Amino acid sequence: MITEVDEALCVLLGRSLPEGTMVRLDPPKPTWETEKPSKAIDLFLFGLRDDRGGRESGWADERDDRGAVRARREPNRRCVLSYLVTARAEKVNEEHQLLAAALRTMLFTDSLPEDCMPAALAAAGAPVLITIADSDPGALWSNLGMPARASFAISVSAPFLPEPDTELAPPAEKIRLNSGQNVPARGSLAPAQPRRWVRTP
């Protein structure tokens, strides 16, 4: 689901940014200091982790037109994708304007709109949640060996669907009930029960 989340975020931001602004998935690089900047917002995926708080429970059955179970799926899992959001423009104030537009979009989007998501992500039937991360990106810039720039980080909790288990026993076509009693065949006589005499005083 990583590439699907990438695509959905690019569509979401592309709607809110000024015309002519690119949305890229490029990581920060030292050449930024010397190359001529283009008008762009960059999304850098720098972290992935299991979202244990978003795990579901119980198995889900997929049934055919007759109601028979054709596949069984484990509960969905969730993963948190962490992105660094930065802006590039010729002037610092233009970068800040782009960053402010991106920040506003993320602040007021609790979950990705369905019309932003590619088909595979929308078919999961589970929300893709967006939050502004509490972490300070300053340490990340240091680890990348670059001077700090204006930026913010977001956390995206996305569903990961397990592969369905299709190796199931075929559904029963007939049901035979047996009460455990021997029933005589039609036309035959049941064995006579012996008589019991009771002596009375």
User: What are the pLDDT digits (tens) for 77-114?
Assistant: 889 999 999 999 999 999 999 999 999 999 999 999 99
**How high is the pLDDT of residue 160?**
83
User: What are the pLDDT digits (tens) for 22-47?
Assistant: 999 988 888 777 778 789 999 999 99
Q: Which two tokens stand for residue 198?
A: 């009771």
CB 109 within 8 A of CB 155: no
**How high is the pLDDT of residue 77?**
83
Break the chain into its structural domains and give their ranges. 2-60+69-160
Token pair 């283009």 in the structure block, residue: 38
**For residue 170, pLDDT beyond 70:** no
Look over the chain and give the mean of its residue pLDDT values, rounded to a whole number: 81
Give the residue among 62, 11, 79, 65 at the shortest CA–CA distance from 41: 11
Q: CA-to-CA distance for 187 and 142, rounded, in angstroms? A: 95
CA dihedral 148, 154, 42, 50 (to 10 degrees): 110
Q: How far is CA 58 from CA 74, 76, 121, 151, in A?
A: 7, 9, 21, 40
**How high is the pLDDT of residue 9?**
97
Backbone phi, then psi, for 30, in 5-degree steps? -60, -25
Q: Which residues contact 124 (CB under 8 A, 6 or more apart)?
A: 1, 76, 159, 161
Length of the chain: 201
Residue 14, classified by CB atoms within 10 Å of its CB into exposed (0-12), middle (13-18) or buried (19+), is: middle
**How high is the pLDDT of residue 192?**
54
Give the residue among 157, 74, 70, 75 at the shortest CA–CA distance from 110: 157
Q: CA-to-CA distance for 173 and 58, rounded, in angstroms? A: 27
**For residue 201, pLDDT beyond 90:** no
Model's pTM, two decimal places? 0.72
In this structure, which CATH number among 3.40.50.150, 3.30.2000.10, 3.40.50.300, 3.60.21.10 belongs to the domain 2-60+69-160? 3.30.2000.10
**How high is the pLDDT of residue 79?**
92
82 versus 200: the higher-pLDDT residue is: 82
**For residue 54, pLDDT beyond 70:** no
For Cα atoms 45, 51, 54, give the angle at the middle one, nearest 5 degrees: 130
